[in-house]
Structure formats: structure tokens, C-alpha cells
């Protein structure tokens, strides 16, 4: 057995790859701790199945790990829980060698397997919700979980061992670690990952959580980050996040050119803190958008600080507002603050971007130049109004 293969249960192995140095995902999401591409091999007494593969570039590592357990040519099934290349990218490599293996996927996954990976139709088995296949002494049940993370996504459940393989769901972008309960700040990473990837699909997440509620789950083995051998911890967190449980917390995201918007948002922060509200503070010039996504998961309000530049809102504030709308956090309230040099318009533009996003804008203030004492008093009032609304829930 390859020294870096991990036995999870009898005849169930982690054979994934750790990408320690990856720093960006989807050309969007920073990965401060790298990530892993978890693949799993299940060896039944009649058939053998590979669950997901690895990112392009790690094919040979995956092959070596499989070969340390079984001849790759003996593989019967490749289960494609999800077609995104970080998990399915090595499927053509594996299936070329494992020439008798069939690809198992959903109806939508079958189309993607042909488009992305040129898998011929005759090598694809399409499964529906709750279908099973037997590997002899091990049975795999498939659960359709659309939009978690793409429309074709399925979960695979190994009945005899109570192991759920949910692909992206319940994951974290961490290259290190084997079991999540061994990592002190695991939930911080999981929350960040939820905010970046799963939060826009909260309704679908609720449906998936309902679907798996009656399964006897001993282990959750996701496709990124460590494995959950105490699944209740991540299940409880996902219940909170999927149903949009928020805290008395405000995320402040702003940019400032000459410290005027900066002064305004800092006054908001100080007033909110004095009202007992938790505040997280992100200067968009240096902010990590993954950190902002993490804070949006359980914040009840957002404060956007957007100065006017070149006749509109500063591009970094536009970007942050667009992301806010795209990530669809359970935020209920907002404040928008702005300072301009000789002509305003930033707040109007931010509001236009937010059009269609259900949010109660508690207050706005657009000022010319540095805030006056009167402006500071206006800001304090807006902050107190927000604090009141946050406390009322
Ligand atoms: Fe980890 Fe949606 O791929």
C-alpha cells in the first residue's frame, strides 16, 4: 500500500491528492491553505469502485495510489459525483487504463462527461435518485443533490459502513489534515468554504440536508479537506448556515481614497461595538474575499463604504456589492456610506446593483469631502438605528 493512502474503513481508502501550493480557485477564490482533491477507492468482494478523481496534474499520483491497492485495470466503476475538473479531470486518464470501467453519473452528468471528457455514451451508466449498485458485500446508493455544486451533482452513500461521499458539500479548502476534529479552527475554514461555494444554493442545501437526514451516517468523506468522523459537528453547522441563522454581527466592507469614507465606516464600527454588536472590518484594498464570504454567512447586516471616483462608485466597492448579490447571504439590513470630491453618485450606483436583492437599507449618507461633526452625528444615529433592528432580529 502506498504510504500516503489512508484506510478509512475495511476496504475503503482515501487515495486523493494534496495541493499545498494552490492559491486561487475558479480564478476567484483565494486558497490561503491550499486544498485537496479527495478520491476514494471502495473494494467490494465482487466489484471495485473509484469515487471521484483528482485535479489535472495529479493523475499519476492517483494511479500510483490505486495500483498500491488493486490493479487499475480491475476497476469496475468510476463514480462521478460532480463534473467539475478538480474532481473529474482525471477521469479520461483513469478510464483509458481501466478499459472495462463504467462511469456512473446523473443524467446531467452524462452530458457533461461527454462534453468535458469525451466519455463515450456506451461507457456511462445513468443513475437516478436512490438507485443502488452492489459491489458484492458493499452497496452504493446515489442521492441527487443538484447545484451542490453544479446541476449534475450526486452524493454517494456506502450503506454497510454508513459513509457519505458528498463531493463538494461538507468540504473545506485545506491541504492539511486527515480528520476535521483534529484541526482546531476547522469550522472557520468550513464556514469560509460554505460562504464562497455553497451559500448561493441555500435552498438546494436545505433539500439535500432533508434527504440525508434519515441516513445512518458514521463518516462524511468530502472531496476537499479533511474527513468527518464526528459528522454531527459539520451537520449542525450546515443546518445553521443553510437555514440562514445569523448573529448580532455586521460585516463592514469599504474602500477609501482620502480617508473620508474610512472615517465614516470607523464611526459606524465604534457605535455598533458600543451597542454590543459584533463587527468585522474589511478594507477592500487588501481584503481577502474569502474572509468576507465567511463573515457574510452569519452576519445580520452589512455596511458598504463606497467613495465616488470617475463619476461612479469606486470599482472595488462595485466588485464587493456584486459579490454580495451573487453570494446571496442571509443578510437582512444594510447601510451605504460615501464621500465624494466634487460630484456624488456612488450610493445610487450601489443601490442599482443591489436591485432585486432583498435587503432593508436602514440608512445612507453621501457627503462632500471629510465628515463634519453634524455628519458624524448623522452616522451615529444611522448606526444606532441599525443596532436596534439587529437586536430585534
Ligand atoms: Fe470541488 Fe465544484 O468542485
pLDDT digits (tens, 9 = 90+) for 209-266: 999 999 999 999 999 999 999 999 999 999 999 999 999 999 999 999 999 999 999 9
**Interval between CA 146 and ligand 1 midpoint (Å):** 13
Q: How far apart are CA 240 and CA 235, in angstroms?
A: 9
Report the pLDDT value the prediction gives residue 187, as an integer from 0 to 100. 98
Q: Residue 315: CB partners within 8 Å, gap ≥ 6?
A: 309
What is residue 277's predicted lDDT score, i.e. its pLDDT?
98
Confidence of residue 38 (pLDDT cuts 50, 70, 90): very high
Average confidence (pLDDT) over 28-32 = 94
For ligand 1, residues with CB inside 6 Å are 82, 84, 86-87, 149, 168, 223-224
Closest ligand 1 atom to Cα of 167 = 1
| Beta-bridge mates of residue 340 | 368
How far, in Å, is the centroid of ligand 1 from the Cα of 275? 40
Nearest atom in ligand 1 to the alpha carbon of residue 224 is 1
Q: What percent of the chain has pLDDT over 90?
A: 99
CA distance 203 to 77: 31
Domain 251-392 coded CATH 3.40.50.300: no
CA-CA distance, 186 to 208, in Å (whole number)?
A: 22
Q: How far apart are the first and last CA of the chain?
A: 55
Statement: residue 157 has pLDDT above 80: yes
Q: How far is the CA of 226 from the centre of ligand 1 (A)?
A: 15
Tally Cβ neighbours within 10 Å of residue 180. Answer: 24
CA 150 to ligand 1: nearest atom: 2
CATH of 6-242 given 3.40.50.1970, 3.60.15.10, 3.30.460.20, 3.40.50.300: 3.60.15.10
393 pLDDT more than 80: no
Helix and strand tally (H, E) in the chain? 12, 23
Residue 102 pLDDT > 90, yes or no?
yes
> Mean pLDDT across the stretch 170-175?
98
What are the boundaries of each domain within the chain?
6-242, 251-392
Q: Which atom of ligand 1 is nearest to the CA of 149?
A: 2
pLDDT, tens digit (0-9, with 9 covering 90-100), for 198-210: 999 999 999 999 9
Residue closest via CA to ligand 1's atom 3 equals: 84
Please report which helix (H) or strand (E) contains residue 339, including its range: strand 333-340
Percent of the chain whose pLDDT exceeds 70: 100
CA distance 253 to 282: 5
Q: pLDDT tens-digit profile of 328-381?
A: 999 999 999 999 999 999 999 999 999 999 999 999 999 999 999 999 999 999
The pLDDT of residue 162 is 98
φ, ψ for residue 261, nearest 5 deg: -65, -35
pLDDT in the model for residue 5: 96
- The pLDDT of residue 12 is 98
Q: Is 52 left (phi over 0), alpha (psi -120 to 50) or beta?
A: left
Helices 260-274/373-392 angle, 10° precision = 40
Q: 122-141 pLDDT, tens per residue?
A: 999 999 999 999 999 999 99
Give, using CA atoms, the residue closest to atom 1 of ligand 1.
168
Model pTM score = 0.97
Three-state SS at 125 = strand
Quote the ligand 1 centre to 381 CA distance (angstroms). Answer: 44
What pLDDT sits at residue 92?
Answer: 98
Instruction: Give the pLDDT confidence score for residue 262 in this predicted structure.
Output: 98
Distance CA 24, CA 353 (A): 26
**Alpha-carbon torsion (91, 94, 95, 96), positive or negative:** positive
Distance 149 CA to ligand 1 centre (A): 6
How does the average pLDDT of the chain come out, rounded?
A: 97
User: Which atom of ligand 1 is nearest the CA belonging to 197?
Assistant: 2
Ligand 1 centre to CA of 269 (Å) is: 36
Beta bridge partners of 337: 305, 365
pLDDT of residue 1: 78
pLDDT at 54 over 90: yes
State the pLDDT at residue 155: 98
Integer Cα distance of 218 and 330 in angstroms: 30
Work out which ligand 1 atom sits closest to the CA atom of 168: 1
Q: What is the pLDDT of residue 2?
A: 83
The three grid cell numbers given for residue 208, joined into one nine-digit string: 439535500
Instruction: Give the confidence band of 291 by pLDDT, cuts at 50, 70, 90.
Output: very high
Per-residue model confidence (pLDDT) at position 3: 82
Place of cell 436591485: 355
Residue 82 and residue 251: Cα distance in Å, rounded? 32
CA distance 54 to 36: 9
What average pLDDT score do residues 171-193 get? 97
Centre of ligand 1 to C-alpha 5, Å, is 22
For residue 194, CA distances in Å to 32, 176, 180, 234, 294 come to 15, 18, 15, 11, 7
**DSSP letters along 158-178, please?**
ETTTTEEE-TTTT----SS-S
Residue 290's nearest CA partner among 282, 302, 278 is 282
Amino acid at each position: 500500500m502506498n504510504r500516503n493512502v489512508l484506510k478509512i474503513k475495511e476496504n475503503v481508502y482515501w487515495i486523493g491528492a494534496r495541493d499545498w501550493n494552490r492559491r486561487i480557485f475558479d480564478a476567484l477564490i483565494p486558497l490561503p491553505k491550499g486544498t485537496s482533491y479527495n478520491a476514494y477507492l471502495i473494494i467490494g468482494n465482487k466489484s471495485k469502485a473509484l469515487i471521484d478523481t483528482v485535479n489535472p496534474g495529479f493523475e499519476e499520483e492517483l494511479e500510483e495510489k490505486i495500483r498500491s491497492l488493486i490493479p487499475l485495470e480491475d476497476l469496475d466503476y468510476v463514480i462521478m459525483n460532480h463534473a467539475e475538473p478538480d474532481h473529474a479531470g482525471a477521469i479520461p486518464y483513469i478510464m483509458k487504463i481501466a478499459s472495462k470501467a463504467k462511469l456512473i453519473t446523473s443524467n446531467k452528468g452524462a452530458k457533461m462527461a461527454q462534453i468535458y471528457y469525451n466519455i463515450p455514451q456506451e461507457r456511462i451508466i445513468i443513475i437516478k435518485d436512490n438507485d443502488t449498485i452492489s459491489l458484492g458485500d458493499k452497496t452504493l446508493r446515489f442521492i441527487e443533490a443538484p447545484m451542490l455544486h453544479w446541476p449534475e451533482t450526486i452524493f454517494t452513500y456506502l450503506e454497510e459502513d454508513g459513509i457519505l461521499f458528498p463531493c463538494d458539500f461538507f468540504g473545506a479548502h485545506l491541504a492539511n489534515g486527515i480528520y476535521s476534529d483534529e484541526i482546531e479552527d476547522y469550522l472557520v475554514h468550513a464556514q469560509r468554504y460554505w460562504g464562497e461555494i455553497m451559500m448561493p444554493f441555500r435552498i438546494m442545501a436545505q433539500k439535500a440536508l432533508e434527504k440525508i437526514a434519515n441516513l445512518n451516517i458514521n463518516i462524511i468523506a468530502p472531496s476537499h479537506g479533511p474527513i468527518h468522523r464526528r459528522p454531527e459537528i459539520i451537520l449542525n453547522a450546515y443546518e445553521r448556515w443553510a437555514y440562514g441563522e445569523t448573529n448580532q454581527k455586521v460585516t463592514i466592507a469599504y474602500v477609501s481614497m482620502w480617508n473620508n469614507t474610512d472615517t465614516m465606516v470607523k464611526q459606524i464600527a465604534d457605535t455598533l461595538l458600543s451597542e454590543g454588536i459584533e463587527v468585522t472590518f474589511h478594507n477592500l484594498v487588501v481584503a481577502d474575499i474569502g474572509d468576507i464570504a465567511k463573515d457574510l454567512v452569519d452576519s445580520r447586516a452589512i455596511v458598504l463604504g463606497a467613495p465616488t471616483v470617475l463619476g461612479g462608485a469606486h470599482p472595488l466597492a462595485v466588485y464587493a456589492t456584486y459579490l454580495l448579490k451573487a453570494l446571496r447571504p442571509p443578510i437582512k439590513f444594510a447601510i451605504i456610506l460615501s464621500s465624494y470630491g466634487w460630484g456624488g453618485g456612488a450610493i445610487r450606483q450601489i443601490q442599482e446593483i443591489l436591485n432585486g436583492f432583498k435587503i432593508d437599507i436602514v440608512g445612507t449618507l453621501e457627503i462632500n469631502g471629510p465628515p463634519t461633526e453634524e455628519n458624524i452625528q448623522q452616522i451615529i444615529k444611522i448606526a444606532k438605528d441599525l443596532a436596534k433592528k439587529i437586536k430585534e432580529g
